Amino acid sequence: MSTEELTTATPALDPSFDNVWDELQWRGLVHVSTDPEALRAVLGGEPITYYCGFDPTAPSLHLGNLVQLLTLRRIQLAGHRPLGLVGGSTGLIGDPRPTAERTLNTPETVADWVRRLQSQVERFLSFDGDNAARMVNNLDWTAPLSAIDFLREIGKHYRVGTMLKKDAVAARLNSDAGISYTEFSYQILQGMDYLELYRNYGCVLQTGGSDQWGNLTSGTDLIHRVEGVSVHAIGTPLITNSDGTKFGKSEGNAIWLDPSMCSPYRMYQFWLGTTDADVIDRLKVFTFLTRDEIADYEKLVESEPFRRAAQKRLASEVCATVHGAEATAAVIAASEALFGQGDLHSLDAATLRSAIDELPHVERDGAVTVVDALVETGLVASKSDARRAIDQGGVSVDGERVSDAEALVNGTLPGGVSIVRRGKKTLAGVVFH
């Protein structure tokens, strides 16, 4: 295992920037914002309170949310005070999707997801020192509010014509599904969140994805009308791949931050697969590497792309940030051992099994011949192809080359599994019960 893959950057700002605003811009994290000059002055001045909200519409956050979590951390490292909001009330409604109404989850489900998301957000922030983070839940100020009070105190400040122009609302109005009053009201609730946080904590900045810009400005506009002050918002770009495809999807599945929903091994492999065209931008957004370090990797991408040094560093950095150094070391060891650069027998059973889940694999109740294992896992098309591959010396089981076609595969690796390899890079797994 290389030293480079085990080395991860300590969360810190790049000292080559005088102002965190400049670093956010260099990293490509500012797609849209309120007054840039005012924001630069605010972020370069005395500590402010700022927030980002996360709605519990699933039991875990995902890579899109990771952009916001790391942005929160960067601003905290500049000395400012973060509020991590998990929306116990807005999660009961959900912001409008482009095409159809959300399925409303039960209050019990949402409450459970609130707890899960709170624990995830907490891992990315510091709760010590003068700028310690705080966690808040908008259900605390929404639940006691009656419908009449909500309409009188908040609703009267909104103009329907303006609300209809918001991108998310306009898209739904022009769709066959239309939009319900429930989802239409989401922007009012999010605006009220900002107002409450301004009143109770002096919060003057909200960050979020650029697709949430209408909701972010709902809050800035409300505070300006009610309190007569100007507050700020930053919309980060939606991350897409260089080919225009949606980022954060792997074979149609989201890359979740919860290890039970997306294993550390799978997350590591996802980042390892980043294209050369995308890897430098990903290093800027998802790691704490300095611009000098990233410039060095950019040179390596150009001069030695076959080494995939930038991808390996990206994968280890993000995996360690999300899952910790120990889990990252385990998945690096598994990744290397699977491809002949380490001892498969030394791997821990959980990491090995998560790796097999990402490979073609079959489950068996008892031992199976190498020939049958090759065929059943799809590494060869027929038994004759399997025997030919064995005769040519191109087959190994659990790291050992096989010469006998009738040799048995019987789960000698930790956890009662086996790895069958054909050639250097074609792998499959056999799981025994």
For residue range 142-162, list pLDDT tens digits in order: 999 999 999 999 999 999 988
Q: What is the reported pLDDT for 3?
A: 35
- The 3-state DSSP class for residue 296 equals helix
Partners of residue 265 on adjacent β-strands: none
Distance CA 196, CA 136 (A): 11
Longest Cα–Cα distance in the chain: 82
Virtual torsion, Cα 158, 160, 162, 166, nearest 10 deg: 110
CA proximity to 418, closest of 405, 408, 427, 429: 429
Q: What is the reported pLDDT for 177?
A: 79
What is the Cα 351 distance to its own chain's centre?
20
CA proximity to 370, closest of 390, 391, 344: 390
Distance CA 83, CA 189 (A): 17
Distance CA 262, CA 243 (A): 24
Virtual torsion, Cα 8, 10, 12, 16, nearest 10 deg: -60
Q: What is the reported pLDDT for 250?
A: 58
- Vertex 173 angle, CA 216 and 246, to 5°: 60
Complete domains list, the chain, with CATH: 31-236 (3.40.50.620), 359-433 (3.10.290.10)
Count CA atoms closer than 13 A to 49's CA, side-chain side: 19
Distance CA 140, CA 322 (A): 28
Q: Which two tokens stand for residue 114?
A: 């609130």
CB-count burial class (<10 Å; 0-12, 13-18, 19+) for 317? buried
- Measured between its terminal Cα atoms, the distance across the chain in Å is 31
Confirm if 431 and 417 have CB atoms less than 8 A apart: yes
Confirm if 74 and 106 have CB atoms less than 8 A apart: no
Quickly list DSSP for 119-164: HHHHTTS--SSTT--EEEETHHHHTT--HHHHHHHTGGG--HHHHH
CA proximity to 79, closest of 42, 32, 123: 42
Confirm if 228 and 44 have CB atoms less than 8 A apart: no
Residue spans of the chain under pLDDT 50: 1-5
What is the Cα 58 distance to its own chain's centre?
13
Distance CA 86, CA 91 (A): 8
The H-or-E segment that residue 170 falls in is helix 167-173
CA proximity to 63, closest of 399, 319, 382: 319
